[in-house]
Structure 1
């Protein structure tokens, strides 16, 4: 079952999708849980609700929760996303039950990059319809899902999915690449057997022609790669 609340990143800011068929108390608690798991991470981020309860009091309660965690309410973000995806009301109608369709529509627009200027702690998630650059570490228990490439300037020990919309040409690059789970396109791999012996140089992960995930030194002079699937 999908979450009562989903938080999606866009070039304009955060979109918070609310499953209007759920009980409001469940929606409220789910939003609290996500905000608490990402405590401090969303501070200063602009947000809008893509769907929200019809009742004014419920809308106010959800908005107050976000404001408590340092987010900035900008309702016009929703209109900007609709305009960018050229989907308009069709996206809004589908998103209540299938929020991933909104992301797929956004992925058809010009690719862009989300810059994350900190490390990701356990429980924090990034889901972005473009490239993601993390200026820090991805700790165990954290997750990054991107339609494009994922670049990690530090250690990567969490879950990473590049090319999440099926792009087989996506890449994952990290200073130290030792993820709990690595996905590119539809291929998936857990940490390789030699992951405990971390390489002290940047590595790149990509798909071979036969769909295997290969990890090798980012230095092109190192010809040997290690298969992870």
Structure 2
């Protein structure tokens, strides 16, 4: 009987079977034990599994070795490979997409201010001025120009302003234009996509906690 050192642990979860790989031993030992467990597994039929390498970073070659081993010695299918670590490039991308970029200026007609992440404008956005952000847009001033939040497709983003009287608001692919007739603006409002109507709607800022309770949780933004 082969001696196993529990370098590989299989656990059933609500999301299926997760195979945890020990992150303290050598990768070769992980492969050896995984091979032994696969050879002794008597179950039949295709089953999807998720491999979790915990705090071990797997190179592309190591990931391919795992795929090949599981394919050669079992009917299992690898759905995903997860870990608690990310590359420096991924970390930089996460930082860029989740930090608030602040400017203290007025966005005038013809000017375009574009950021990755959330945009905080301390000043006005004049008619003809445009702000684009992959995240949310917060305006500590008058929004009278164009604000486009979630430019890469995030429909959970919002546009908030101290005074809301925009030419146009866009969130992801949804557009809300100002009416042809003159209307008064409104103080302390935010725009969001109502999931029921799939349209952009306005609401008072005091309701933001109810409608967007995870607004400040960066891990809920689909990154």
TM-score (norm 1): 0.48
Work out which structure has the larger RCO, using CA pairs closer than 8 Å and 6 or more positions apart in sequence.
1
- TM-score (norm: length of structure 2): 0.49
Larger Rg: 2
